[in-house]
């Protein structure tokens, strides 16, 4: 993980799109990282793999998943929040299946007090639980029963109370001020990764899916929302100021995707072309500011319907701006929550980068409705795929819905280059890391998971080609819908669809940190161009000189000046070096590796090849993302070549020829201010 000494700097630098976007939207992990920072300063001493305590902290019990002898089929859940006292009362009636006779039930539970619990076997007598043993550190409770719960179905009934906390996780309170200046609170949820257990006792693991029947008892003048549409709203018998709102049964889903919101909101509504009711909920009086997100969502839903060839399975989707929100946005199924800056657009005052940001965030969270919600990762180890995939397809979607944004150029200038910069550091980590205790999720959740994750999926999509990629995606979604899957399951489906060695290729990018630099030289033989290509690990700190020499399976594409937009040849570099023959390339043509800047690697051209690219740079026949990629590679190489004046001059010449749009120019100026010898270039 990357730690920055000053938390404020850290937070500012950890927004998903980095400093180019004005809104300081944080990866959810930023907050956790902050926690990690605090932990480091408080001197955590870790337990070694062998289980020996290496320092002063008491040994931590190894993490164990929930037992599978009792599992939920349906949760009947009724919650009654008190927006004045910040407490809530809850009633759970879960239909469960006992697979092995037992006299105890273990479930997740945190910061909740259980009042009563009982089990009613199907067709049998109610058995009252005699003990609630809270294992606070493990966030679990064990309910003990005086007699054995036999194999079969039954109803688990639990009455409980909890606090509407101010920690922005679980079931929490969010503060807002009315137009009259009165401070009020909404009750909202944020459950990912493991905070559903703070709202109700549950089996809070992504692979333990069940259906949910949710009811909320709320003040009659408040909006009450949940994952599904309202099916009933009636006065609450005990209090004339309250109503009971019942929601339709959800599909089978994971607990981390459950959500409810109770507060005061306005909304704008529309129907998507495929008949889904879309609403954007805004603070009271700001409905106008929801119109842009509404347009994005109504365009986005049909795009995903078509791309995945699987219809959106719920009758409605709500997008809601929450005043106090820890993450940027959260993909709760049918009720997506956003921080205000990630959803609201002031039509008069918002700039185009704000619109682009909102479009990307909406595109990201709606992609999760399929990839993540319909098919869910089996365990948090696969969360990188969930987030990496959504962070890639949000661009595909925005490019489709708003081609005028030229959004892929933003991807290259933001996510792609950022991932390369971070991943070249010795402090980087593989995107795929085994997660044991869910609290570890937060520790690996950073720009490497999001931006490198998105970049390697973009490379994979390009390697497979859109047609086979979609075929594989569709097979994956159909095979695992309403169930769980692992990263390997996706690779299998893509492998079947394409006939390519996807698991082997992708494993080399996800299981080891870093990336290669591709060294290229060329020779002309008659009408053929012979390319000598080799790979070695790229390190920001100087040449890699560890004994183990990592290598990658690198999809390489090549174009020439004959058609700079079109790939002439694709090869898979699956060894340290190889020779490639490009036929029909005359001596006056230039050859460029990695058109579109889709491969996750840097390129070091021979002096002659680099020089030959100059005309393509000058006449702009090299595409903007290609110039951007070339520029970025050259920058990173420049300070590595500090002792080779001639080569440095050559790089500077090419760099100097690259005309950069305003924004990039500003960024470059800033970057160059850190490399004073280069300042004269721009
Ligand atoms: N599912 C995440 C939010 C999340 C991840 C919450 C892990 C808790 C643990 C959501 O889809 C997401 O990625 N949100 C981003 C914004 C997005 C546009 C990149 C965020 O919150 O920064
Ligand atoms: Zn996400």
500 secondary structure, DSSP code: S
Q: State residue 115's pLDDT score.
A: 98
Kindly tell me the burial class for residue 493, based on how many C-beta atoms sit within 10 Å of its own C-beta (0-12, 13-18, 19 or more): buried
Q: Which strands sit side by side in the sheet containing 591-593, from one edge to the other?
A: 569-573, 554-560, 591-593
User: What's the pLDDT score for residue 412?
Assistant: 96
What is the pLDDT at residue 664?
56
pLDDT in tens, 337-363: 999 999 999 999 999 999 999 999 999
Output the residue whose Cα is nearest ligand 1's atom 21.
328
Would you say 295 is a known binding-site residue?
no
Catalytic residue selected from 192, 205, 365, 432: 365
pLDDT of 31 strictly over 50: no
Atom of ligand 1 nearest to the CA of 15: 22
Measured from the Cα of 445, ligand 1's closest atom is 7
pLDDT in tens, 423-443: 999 999 999 999 888 778 878
Check: CB of residue 223 under 8 Å from CB of residue 263.
yes
The pLDDT assigned to 27 comes to 40
Q: Report the chain's mean pLDDT, rounded to a whole number.
A: 88
Query: How many residues are recorded in the chain?
Result: 682
Burial label, 72 (beta-carbon count in 10 A; 0-12, 13-18, 19+): buried
Is the Cβ atom of 365 under 6 angstroms away from ligand 1? Answer: yes
pLDDT at 69 over 90: yes
Q: Calculate the CA dihedral of residues 411, 413, 416, 420 and round it to 10 degrees.
A: -170
Grouping H, G, I as helix, E, B as strand and the rest as coil, residue 3 is coil
Q: How confident is the model at residue 19 (pLDDT cuts 50, 70, 90)?
A: very low
Show the 3-state SS of 221-267.
CCEEEECCCEEEEEECCCCCCEEEEEECCCCCECHHHCCEEEECEEE
Stretch 51-66: mean pLDDT: 66
Is the per-residue pLDDT at 532 higher than 90?
yes
Give the DSSP per-residue string, 566-635.
S--EEEEE-SSEEEEEE-S--TT--EEESTTS-SSSEEEE-HHHHHHTHHHHHTS-S-HHHHHHHHHHHH
Reported as a pLDDT band with limits 50, 70 and 90, residue 7 is: very low
Question: 192 CB less than 6 Å from ligand 1?
Answer: yes
**Does 21 have pLDDT greater than 80?**
no
Rounded to 10 deg, the angle between the 487-498 and 453-464 helix axes is 20
Residue 644: which pLDDT band, with cuts at 50, 70 and 90?
Answer: low
User: Could you give all domains of the chain from N- to C-terminal order, each with its CATH number?
Assistant: 65-262 (2.60.40.1730), 405-510 (1.10.390.10), 515-613 (2.60.40.1910)
Q: Does 364 count as an annotated binding residue?
A: yes
Instruction: Note if 125 is an active site residue.
Output: no
> Residue holding tokens 């009563």?
116
Provide the 3-class DSSP secondary structure of residue 656. helix
For position 545, what pLDDT does the model report? Answer: 73
Ligand 1, atom 13, residue with closest C-alpha = 387
CB atoms within 10 A of CB 113: 12
Please tell me whether residue 72 adopts helix, strand or coil conformation: strand
Query: Is 429 annotated as ligand-binding?
Result: no
Give the CA angle between residues 171, 177, 183 to the nearest 5°.
Answer: 75
> Does any ligand 1 atom lie closer than 6 A to the CB of residue 364?
yes
pLDDT recorded at residue 390 = 98
More confident residue, 22 or 259: 259
Return d(Cα 22, Cα 13) in angstroms, integer. 11
Mutation choice for ligand 1 from 198, 330, 386, CB with most ligand atoms inside 8 A: 330
Ligand 1 atom nearest to 372, measured from its CA? 1
Q: Does a cis peptide bond (omega within 30 degrees of 0) precede residue 193?
A: yes
Contact 539, 424 (CB under 8 A): yes
Q: Is 110 in the pocket of ligand 1 (CB under 6 A)?
A: no
Ligand 1 centre and the CA of 386: distance in Å?
Answer: 10
Contact, 604 vs 633, CB < 8 A? yes
Q: What is the pLDDT of residues 473-507, one digit of tens each?
A: 999 999 999 999 999 999 999 999 999 999 999 99
Average pLDDT for residues 575-598, to the nearest whole number? 96
Question: By three-state DSSP, how is residue 312 classified?
Answer: coil
Which has the higher per-residue pLDDT, 680 or 319? 319
pLDDT for 549: 86
Q: How confident is the model at residue 646 (pLDDT cuts 50, 70, 90)?
A: low
Q: Which residues surround ligand 2, an ion (CB under 5 A)?
A: 387, 390
d(CA 151, CA 130): 20
Report how far apart, in Å, the C-alpha atoms of 243 and of each of 158, 234, 463 are. 22, 6, 55
Residue 258 has pLDDT above 80, yes or no: yes
């Amino acid at each position: 993980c990357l730690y920055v000494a000053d938390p404020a700097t850290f937070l500012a630098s950890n927004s998903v799109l980095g400093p180019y976007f004005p809104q300081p939207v944080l990866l959810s992990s930023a907050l956790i990282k902050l926690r990690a920072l605090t932990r480091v300063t408080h001197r955590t001493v870790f337990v070694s793999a062998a289980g020996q305590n290496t320092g002063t902290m008491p040994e931590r019990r190894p993490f164990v998943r929930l037992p599978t002898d009792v599992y939920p089929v349906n949760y009947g859940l009724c919650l009654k929040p008190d927006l004045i006292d910040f407490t809530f009362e809850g009633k759970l009636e879960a239909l469960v299946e006992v697979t092995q006779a037992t006299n105890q039930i273990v479930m997740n539970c945190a910061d909740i007090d259980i009042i009563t619990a009982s089990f009613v076997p199907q067709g049998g007598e109610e058995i009252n639980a005699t003990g609630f043993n809270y294992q606070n550190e493990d966030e679990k409770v064990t309910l003990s029963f005086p007699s054995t719960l036999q194999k079969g179905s039954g109803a688990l009934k639990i009455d409980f109370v909890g606090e509407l906390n101010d920690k922005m996780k679980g079931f929490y309170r969010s503060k807002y001020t009315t137009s009259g200046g009165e401070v009020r609170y909404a009750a909202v949820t944020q459950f990912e990764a493991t905070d559903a257990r703070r709202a109700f006792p549950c089996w809070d693991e992504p692979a333990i899916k069940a259906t949910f029947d949710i009811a909320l008892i709320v003040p009659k003048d408040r909006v009450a929302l949940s994952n599904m549409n309202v099916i009933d709203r009636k006065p609450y018998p005990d209090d004339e100021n309250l109503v009971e709102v019942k929601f339709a049964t959800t599909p089978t889903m994971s607990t981390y995707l459950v959500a409810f919101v109770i507060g005061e909101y306005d909304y704008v509504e529309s129907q998507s072309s495929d008949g889904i009711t879309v609403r954007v909920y805004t603070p009271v009086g700001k409905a106008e500011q929801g119109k842009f997100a509404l347009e994005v969502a109504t365009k986005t839903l049909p795009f995903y319907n078509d791309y995945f060839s699987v219809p959106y399975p719920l009758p409605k989707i709500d997008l809601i701006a929450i005043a106090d929100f820890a993450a940027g946005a959260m993909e709760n199924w049918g009720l997506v929550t956003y921080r205000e800056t990630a959803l609201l657009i002031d039509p008069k005052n918002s700039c185009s980068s704000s619109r682009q940001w909102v479009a990307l965030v909406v595109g990201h969270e709606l992609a999760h409705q399929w990839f993540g919600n319909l098919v869910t990762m089996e365990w948090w180890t696969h969360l990188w795929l969930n987030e990496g995939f959504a962070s890639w397809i949000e661009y595909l979607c925005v490019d489709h819905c708003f081609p005028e944004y030229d959004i892929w150029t933003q991807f290259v200038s933001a996510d792609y280059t950022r991932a390369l910069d971070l991943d070249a550091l010795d402090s980087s980590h593989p995107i795929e890391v085994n997660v044991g205790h869910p609290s570890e999720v937060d520790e690996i959740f950073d720009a490497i998971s999001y931006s490198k994750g998105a970049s390697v999926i973009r490379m994979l999509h390009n390697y497979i080609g859109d047609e086979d990629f979609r075929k594989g995606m569709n097979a994956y979604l159909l095979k695992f819908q309403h169930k769980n899957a692992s990263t390997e399951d996706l690779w299998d489906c893509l492998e079947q669809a394409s006939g390519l060695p996807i698991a082997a290729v992708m494993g080399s990018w996800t299981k080891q940190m870093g990336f290669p630099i591709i060294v290229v030289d060329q020779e002309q033989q008659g009408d053929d161009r012979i390319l000598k290509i080799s790979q070695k690990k790229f390190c920001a700190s100087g040449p890699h000189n560890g004994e183990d020499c990592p290598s990658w399976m690198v999809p390489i594409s090549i174009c020439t000046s004959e058609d700079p937009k079109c790939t002439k040849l694709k090869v898979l570099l699956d060894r340290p070096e190889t020779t490639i023959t490009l036929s029909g390339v005359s001596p006056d043509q230039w050859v460029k590796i990695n058109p579109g800047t889709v491969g996750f690697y840097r390129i070091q051209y021979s002096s002659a090849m680099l020089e030959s690219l100059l005309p393509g740079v000058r006449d702009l026949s090299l595409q903007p993302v290609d110039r951007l990629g070339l520029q970025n590679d050259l920058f990173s190489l420049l300070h590595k070549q500090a002792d080779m004046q001639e080569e440095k001059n050559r790089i500077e010449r090419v760099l100097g020829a690259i005309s950069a749009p305003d924004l990039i120019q500003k960024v470059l100026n800033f970057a160059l201010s850190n490399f004073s010898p280069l300042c004269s270039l721009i």
